A and B are shown apart, each in its own frame.
Chain A
């Protein structure tokens, strides 16, 4: 039982000490309600099947998994905020549970896209030969 309960401890540490990650309010309206700016997975228990808001993780009881890693992901418009999350995870080296298996972090630029319709007459279709 404790094997899955234990990885949940660093999740709480990161969430409480990193409340500043946020989504631009204008963009937030365009994505599903309840979508969280910070996502936590327990790889080995529930990860790719889960949702960004963490509903499936929250509904998953402590099981008998013995080989579990924590993954935390967040989006932010502010590079400093994103870097702060990486630092909080790195801090688990010293103040997290034993046997964490090390910390690796990555920061990458993102460009989000949305599907939409546009008026047909706003789209000009055609071709031209260029020599």
Chain B
């Protein structure tokens, strides 16, 4: 097992609607999906966004796509028209999530490096 940043084994993109952020996390290869499902949990995502005070974090699993979708409420400071952030849509937030550390079996990691 090796601890790596999530972006070593997955990519992600962000969407928004109102004060709700919608973040996909997609395994770079199908065999990495189980690592995502086991470790990238609602609790850990809530912790990654703690400074934005999420009111709820809901995870939807999409195993046939090797992906998951997070719906995170209350983290956009009012949403695109209300936020004072340079990134009013929160499009960069997928990359905040991808900084999370995950433990990956070395055989799987070797193919990713």
Complex contact B77–A35 (CB within 8 A)? yes
- Closest residue on chain A to residue B92 by CB atoms: A48
Chain B residue contacts of A50, Cβ below 8 A: 51, 85
A11-19, A70-78, A99-107, A120-128: which lies at the interface:
A70-78
By secondary structure, the A interface counts as loop
Could you tell me which residues of chain B, from 7 to 61, have a CB within 8 Å of some CB in chain A? 17-20, 51-53
Q: Name B's A-contacting residues (CB within 8 A).
A: 17-20, 51-53, 74, 77-79, 81-87, 92-93, 96
Q: Given A32-B53, A35-B77, A48-B92, 18 other A-B contacts at CB below 8 A?
A: A31-B82, A35-B78, A41-B85, A49-B96, A51-B51, A51-B52, A51-B53, A51-B77, A53-B77, A56-B51, A59-B51, A110-B81, A113-B81, A114-B18, A114-B78, A115-B17, A115-B18, A115-B20
